[in-house]
Amino acid sequence: MGVNNFIEAMTRNFPLERVHLNTNIREIQLSGKGQYSLITSDGQQLYFDHIVFAVDGQEILRLWHPKLLSVEEKEIIEHLKTTKNIAVLHSDVLLTTRISRSAYIYNVATSSHQHRHGDSTALKSCLTYNVNTLQGIPSSLFGPIFITLNPFIPPHPRFVQGIWEFTDPELRSETLHAQARLPSIQNKRGLSYGFRWTGRGFLEDSITAGLEIAVEHLGAKLPFEIDRQYPLDSSEPVSLNSGLKDHLVRVTLTLIRIYVQLLQLGLVLLGAIGTFFPGIRALFMRLNKIRVFKPV
For residue range 97-112, list pLDDT tens digits in order: 666 555 567 777 777 6
> Within this chain, do residues 109 and 135 fall inside the same structural domain, yes or no?
yes
Note the pTM of the prediction, 2 decimals.
0.64
The single-letter DSSP state of residue 6 is: H
Is residue 148 within 8 A of residue 95, CB to CB? The reply is: yes
Does 153 fall in a domain? yes
> Within this chain, do residues 160 and 195 fall inside the same structural domain, yes or no?
no
Domain count, the chain: 3
**CB-based contacts of 64, cutoff 8 Å, min separation 6:** 28
> Within this chain, do residues 96 and 206 fall inside the same structural domain, yes or no?
no
What radius of gyration, in Å, describes the C-alpha atoms of the chain? 29
> Within this chain, do residues 146 and 279 fall inside the same structural domain, yes or no?
no
> Within this chain, do residues 87 and 156 fall inside the same structural domain, yes or no?
yes
Pairing of strands 121-130, 51-53: unpaired
With a cut of 70, which residues of the chain have pLDDT below it?
1-2, 97-104, 112-123, 228-243, 271-296
**CB-based contacts of 123, cutoff 8 Å, min separation 6:** 110, 111, 112
pLDDT of residue 82: 85
pLDDT of residue 25: 92
What are 206-237's pLDDT values in tens digits? 888 888 999 999 999 988 888 765 655 555 54
List the 106-114 sheet strands across, edge first. Answer: 106-114, 121-130, 146-149, 82-90, 160-169
pLDDT of residue 240: 46
Is residue 32 within 8 A of residue 144, CB to CB? The reply is: no
| CA dihedral (7, 43, 60, 221) positive or negative | negative
For residue 91, the enclosing domain spans 82-113+120-169
